[in-house]
Amino acid sequence: MKTLNITNTIKLVAILFISTFTLSSCSDDQDDELDHGSEEELITTVTYTLTSGNDVVNLIFTDLTGGSLDDATYEVSGSLSANTTYTGVLKLENATESPAENITLEVKAEGDEHEFFFASSIADLTIEKTDTDVNGNPIGIETSVSTGNAGTGTITIVLKHEPTKPNDGISANAGGSTDAEVTFNISVQ
């Protein structure tokens, strides 16, 4: 060790440096932009289907970018009938994947960690959750929607991840983090 050769050490150091250049430029993970492209957790489409016999109303939200809602579309197929009870079914999809991924299935499978919350600005429109998770608490994929008198307003649907369950049915009090929040303008006639 006393005969340590400084030039050899410098050479070694230089070789190490150059070799990392070579190695890194050969490595195959350089061109993996393609698999960076998809946002897998994205919810692009929210479909709320309200059915009462032959009366079917679809509320469809679509935003394929996942970013700001500037490009988002809200499609309401028609108005709801007054004093009617509808069966509501929610479907969440990621349409950037092909075929579109059905996220509702994931939410259902992890029902004890998720819950939908509904709120409407129309006073006598009520939405009740009819499905339950493994602990017997509501999830909200399936609902029963009762309309009262005619009027116009909004329905807001919020999906929370890890809310406090059970809760008082108000999303603000349930905590958790919001995975989706969509508001539709509707009318009851």
Q: How far apart are CA 81 and CA 188, in angstroms?
A: 6
Rounded to the nearest whole angstrom, what is the least distance from the CB of residue 96 to other proteins in the complex?
7
Instruction: Please give the helix or strand (H or E) that residue 15 lies within, else none.
Output: helix 6-26
Q: How far apart are CA 44 and CA 50, in angstroms?
A: 20
- Find how far residue 184's CA is from the centre of its chain: 16
Q: How far apart are CA 59 and CA 78, in angstroms?
A: 9
Q: Which is nearer to other proteins, 24 or 83 (CB)?
A: 24
Q: Which is nearer to other proteins, 16 or 53 (CB)?
A: 16
Rounded to the nearest whole angstrom, what is the least distance from the CB of residue 149 to other proteins in the complex?
19
Rounded to the nearest whole angstrom, what is the least distance from the CB of residue 166 to other proteins in the complex?
15
Q: Which is nearer to other proteins, 65 or 83 (CB)?
A: 65
Q: Which is nearer to other proteins, 47 or 96 (CB)?
A: 96
Rounded to the nearest whole angstrom, what is the least distance from the CB of residue 9 to other proteins in the complex?
4
Q: Which residue spans within the chain are E strands per DSSP? A: 45-52, 55-62, 73-76, 85-94, 101-102, 114-120, 126-129, 142-146, 151-161, 177-188
Rounded to the nearest whole angstrom, what is the least distance from the CB of residue 24 to other proteins in the complex?
5
> Which is nearest to 165 in space by CA: 143, 132, 187?
132
Q: Which is nearer to other proteins, 55 or 181 (CB)?
A: 181
**What does the binding site for other proteins look like in residue numbers (CB under 8 A)?**
1-2, 4, 6, 9-10, 12-14, 16-17, 20-21, 24, 29-30, 32-33, 35-44, 46, 61, 63-72, 96, 103, 106-107, 109-110, 114, 117, 119, 121, 154, 156, 158, 160-162, 164, 170-172, 175-183
100 DSSP assignment = P
